[in-house]
């Protein structure tokens, strides 16, 4: 890891932590050629310096969203990663083989974190009513997001 990667992430107030073995899921398979936990943590720190990840974090802060110190965890799990409200972002190191994969997971999950924070106080009845008035009912698409996966329901 380049020294600058960890320093920039630390300056931004985000710490990357590895889940303890008691938090990891037993019996979860690793992808062939998956990187080590240490390399994954280094990759996460590097991903936080990606221009898109920096932009998303800045927008979260501008919107009043707290980017708490333990927002991101390196873990062993069943998918590439995930976001859960009040828990943060999980990067599943046992599925990461390249830096670009980590970058994409961090960016994807930061979008969920931003959406979660910004929409907490939104009146969804008003939003859905406005959408229904603007679009034909057959073209209205509702995006359902969970901490496990996200899917489009029409």
Q: What does the pLDDT read at residue 149?
A: 39
Secondary structure letter of residue 21 according to DSSP: T
Helices 99-118 + 51-62 axis angle, to 10: 10
* Separation of alpha carbons 109 and 124, rounded Å: 22
Q: What does the pLDDT read at residue 65?
A: 85
Catalytic residue positions? 109
Q: Which among 107, 17, 94 has a CA at the least distance from the CA of 59?
A: 107
Q: Which among 89, 86, 62 has a CA at the least distance from the CA of 75?
A: 89
Report CA-CA distances (Å) from 80 to 6, 63, 101.
Answer: 22, 27, 8
DSSP string, 57-123: HHHHHHTT----TT-EEEE--SSSEEEETTTEEEEEGGG--SHHHHHHHHHHHHHHHHHHHHTTT--
Q: What does the pLDDT read at residue 23?
A: 46
Global pTM reads: 0.64
Q: What does the pLDDT read at residue 129?
A: 77
Task: Give the domain ranges of the chain.
Answer: 3-120
Give residue for tokens 């496990």. 148
Beta bridge partners of 150: 145
Each of the 154 residues of the chain gets a pLDDT tens digit; together they read: 333 334 444 445 555 666 544 444 444 445 567 889 999 999 999 999 999 999 999 999 888 887 776 789 998 988 889 998 888 999 999 999 999 999 999 999 999 999 888 887 666 677 777 777 766 555 445 444 433 334 333 3
């Amino acid at each position: 890891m380049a020294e600058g990667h960890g320093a920039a992430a630390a300056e931004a107030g985000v710490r990357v932590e590895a889940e303890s073995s008691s938090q990891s899921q037993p019996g979860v398979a690793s992808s062939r050629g998956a990187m080590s936990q240490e390399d994954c943590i280094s990759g996460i720190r590097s991903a936080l310096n990606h221009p898109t990840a920096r932009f998303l974090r800045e927008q979260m802060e501008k919107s009043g969203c707290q980017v708490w110190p333990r927002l991101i965890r390196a873990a062993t799990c069943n998918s590439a990663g995930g976001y859960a409200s009040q828990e943060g972002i999980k990067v599943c190191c046992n599925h990461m083989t390249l830096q670009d994969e980590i970058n994409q997971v961090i960016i994807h999950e930061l979008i969920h974190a931003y959406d979660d924070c910004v929409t907490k106080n939104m009146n969804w009845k008003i939003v859905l009513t406005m959408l229904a008035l603007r679009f034909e009912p057959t073209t209205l698409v509702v995006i359902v997001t969970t901490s496990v996966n996200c899917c489009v329901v029409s």
